[in-house]
Amino acid sequence: MSIKEVLSVTLFAVCLSLVSIPSHAASIYLVPDATTVDIADGTTSLDLFMDFAPGESTVGGGIDITVGGAVSFVSFTSAPYLDGLNVSPGDDTDFTGFGVADADNDFEIHFGSFAGTFGQNKLGTLTLSLDAVGMGTVSMVINSKWGEFFSAIDFNPQNVDLIGATIDVTQVPVPAAAWLFVSGLVGGFGLLRLRARS
C-alpha cells in the first residue's frame, strides 16, 4: 500500500468516527411521553426531567407548561435536585422556582445556577386530573418572564428541546363475564321468588 492509500484510509476512518459520534441536544422532557390511563383512577403523574450535557451547561431559563384536552393541572412536586439549586450561600433564591404567578399558561418552572446546571436530573412530578374520556396533552414553551436558556460556557442562547406528553384517558368497561354473572344472579333470584309464590 502506498502512503497516499494509507492516508486516504486513515482520513476515511477519522471522518467515519466523527460522523458516528452521537450528538446531544439539551432537552427538558416528561416521562412517560405517552400513556393510557383509566378515568376511574382520577389522577395521573408525569415526571419532568432536564438533560444538559456538561458542554451544554446552562445558567438558567424558564419553561411554561400548558395542559389541555381531557386533563387539567393539579399540582407540581419538586424533586430534591430542583430544591437543592437554592441552597448554596450567595444563591439568588429567585433564580430557581415554580408556580402559577409568573406563568403564561397553566404553570411555570425556572431553574439554573450561575455556576452552570448540567446533567440528567429529575426536576419534579406533575400531577394531572383526569377530567373526561379522550386525549389530554401537556406541552412546554419558553416562559416569557424567565426567558431563554443561556450557556454557562459562552453565555449564548441555547437551543433546548421541550418535549411534552400525551395522555389517552379511557373508560375501562366492566368485563362481559361480570355482566353475565350478575344477570344470572338476578335471574336466579327471580326464579326463586316465583317458586316461593307458587
Output the nine-digit C-alpha cell for 108: 411555570
Mean pLDDT, range 151-161, rounded to an integer: 92
- In a domain, residue 194? The reply is no
- In a domain, residue 148? The reply is yes
Percent of the chain with pLDDT over 90: 50
- In a domain, residue 9? The reply is no
- In a domain, residue 195? The reply is no
Output the nine-digit C-alpha cell for 62: 424558564
- In a domain, residue 191? The reply is no
- CATH number, domain containing residue 111: 2.60.40.680
The boundaries of the domain holding residue 111 are 24-173
Q: How far apart are CA 38 and CA 126, in angstroms?
A: 18
68-72, 112-116, 118-122, 143-147: least confident range: 112-116
- In a domain, residue 141? The reply is yes
Query: Is the preceding peptide bond at 32 cis, omega within 30 degrees of 0?
Result: yes
Contact 130, 37 (CB under 8 A): yes
Is 74 a residue whose pLDDT tops 50?
A: yes
- In a domain, residue 142? The reply is yes
- In a domain, residue 180? The reply is no
Mean pLDDT, range 144-164, rounded to an integer: 93
Q: What's the structural domain count of the chain?
A: 1
pLDDT of residue 80: 87
pLDDT of residue 85: 74
Q: Which residue has the higher pLDDT, 15 or 170?
A: 170
Mean pLDDT, range 93-106, rounded to an integer: 82
Query: Please, is 9 exposed, middle or buried when counting C-beta atoms within 10 Å of its C-beta (0-12, 13-18, 19+)?
Result: exposed
Is 86 a residue whose pLDDT tops 50?
A: yes
Q: How far apart are CA 104 and CA 197, in angstroms?
A: 70
Of these ranges, 22-26, 101-105, 163-167, 182-186, the one predicted with the greatest mean pLDDT is 163-167
